[in-house]
Amino acid sequence: GATAGMSAIFGSPIAAIFLAIELLLFEFAPRSLLPVAMACITGAAGHHVFFGSEPMFAMPAVEIAGNQALFGYSIIGLIIGLVALLLTKAVYWVEDGFERLPVHWMWWPAIGGVAVGVIGYFAPRTLGVGYENLTDLLSGNAPMQLILSLAVLKLLSWLIALGSGTSGGTLAPLMTIGGAIGCLLGMAAIALFPSVGIVLPVAVLVGMAAMFAGASRAFLTSVVFALETTGRIEALLPLLAACAAAYLVSYFLMTNTIMTEKIARRGIRTPDSYEPDVLEQISVEQLMGSDMPEVHADRTIADVFKQHGMEVPYLLVTSAEGLFEGVVARSDLQARSPEDRVGTCAFAPGIVRSGDDLRRAARMLAVRAEHRPLVVVAEGTVVGLITHTDLLKAYGSRIDEHEQGDAVIILKRRRLKVMAQGKRMFEKVVGRG
């Protein structure tokens, strides 16, 4: 519903699909992708019927940015990322402030609404969804009074509204505030470094997208949304540079996003990355070890223990003609009389092919009683066994390999957090002293 609504309002079906993947589903599978895609296509078709096929936000044509300009937009994205971090902290600081008020929680939205109304009385453009604000900012000709009111008063109004529990959105306010701050940064860059090639409308667009990318960590959604709603493909590289900078700031310095902080406070873990199923990447053949010992079904348990010892967990049971009859567990043999025949203890295991992936093996092991293993068959011949322990070891090994690729960046992220926590601790100690 959220993605279809986004597509219907803004005419941005691709960005809506990315939103579902990056923020809602964390899954790239037909069962989720196809329904979302159909809903977004339907929403976009409705937008074209009622609002036309023109981009949502009109923006003047701009030239492709040079290398110096790209560097400038990256710096703007970096600064916006820091602002997004502070803004996320501020939202929940305001929320905590309302929780400390000596009034019942049902009055919080009313108090927030009064504050929003007072701000709106002096700055009417801070009220409502404010799509016209984005259009004015993207034109590059917005008056300074409007820019400052959106960068400061809109920010204050939105923080109070969201922190008090008053009903309100996130996407449009974030982009309005980010666009206004991007406009101010662009004006400063043009005044200080006129030869760099910063263009004010692109600086606004970069601020809009970078603010959402930093606050929500929806990198692809932010870039594609900006392109779809303005139709300015020449702004692709500035958007990529700025959103990547804002995303990195958010990743290194912020544990949760503005979307997940409240859920995390309630003790619910939310996914923060899209990863494939590692079990689908490993075949049964890769997991198999050495061949399992074979014993005839008519042999006694005493003979088997004398030949193979007590350490072998499972044995393949065959007939006198060498045909496979089942599997026997050492624990089952130990519970029986030494004179009993091995064949009386055998059980029929589940069967997987050597070319199957471990996900199929995991599904079969999950329904096997008493942790019974699976028999691996290749070209009609039993070639080995797979147990629950084998599966867990393979999963853990592949997870370790995957995490080693991210070890450096994760270590740096933790160092930054430890440094920040250490600085706060030092300030507390000094303050007490």
Question: Among 23-27, 143-147, 343-347, where is mean pLDDT lowest?
Answer: 23-27
The average pLDDT across 169-175 equals: 82
In this prediction, residue 426 carries a pLDDT of 43
DSSP state, residue 64: P
The average pLDDT across 48-58 equals: 83
Report the distance separating Cα 244 and Cα 426, nearest Å. 32
Percent of the chain with pLDDT over 70: 84
3-state class (DSSP) for residue 398: helix
In this prediction, residue 279 carries a pLDDT of 77
Percent of the chain with pLDDT over 90: 15
DSSP state, residue 22: I
Report the distance separating Cα 403 and Cα 398, nearest Å. 9
pLDDT at residue 429 is higher than 50: no
pLDDT at residue 199 is higher than 60: yes
In this prediction, residue 433 carries a pLDDT of 45
Average pLDDT over all residues of the chain: 81
In this prediction, residue 82 carries a pLDDT of 93
Residue 134 CA, distance from chain mean position = 27
pLDDT at residue 152 is higher than 50: yes
In this prediction, residue 407 carries a pLDDT of 44
Burial class (CB in 10 A: 0-12, 13-18, 19+), 44: buried
Provide the β-strand partners of residue 381: 378
Report the distance separating Cα 282 and Cα 395, nearest Å. 9
> How many C-beta atoms lie closer than 10 Å to residue 30's C-beta?
8
The average pLDDT across 354-359 equals: 83
The average pLDDT across 204-210 equals: 93
In this prediction, residue 162 carries a pLDDT of 82
168-204 as b/e: b if 16+ CB within 10 A: eeebbbbbbbbbbbbbbbbbebbeeeeebbbbbbbbb
Report the distance separating Cα 150 and Cα 200, nearest Å. 16
In this prediction, residue 391 carries a pLDDT of 80
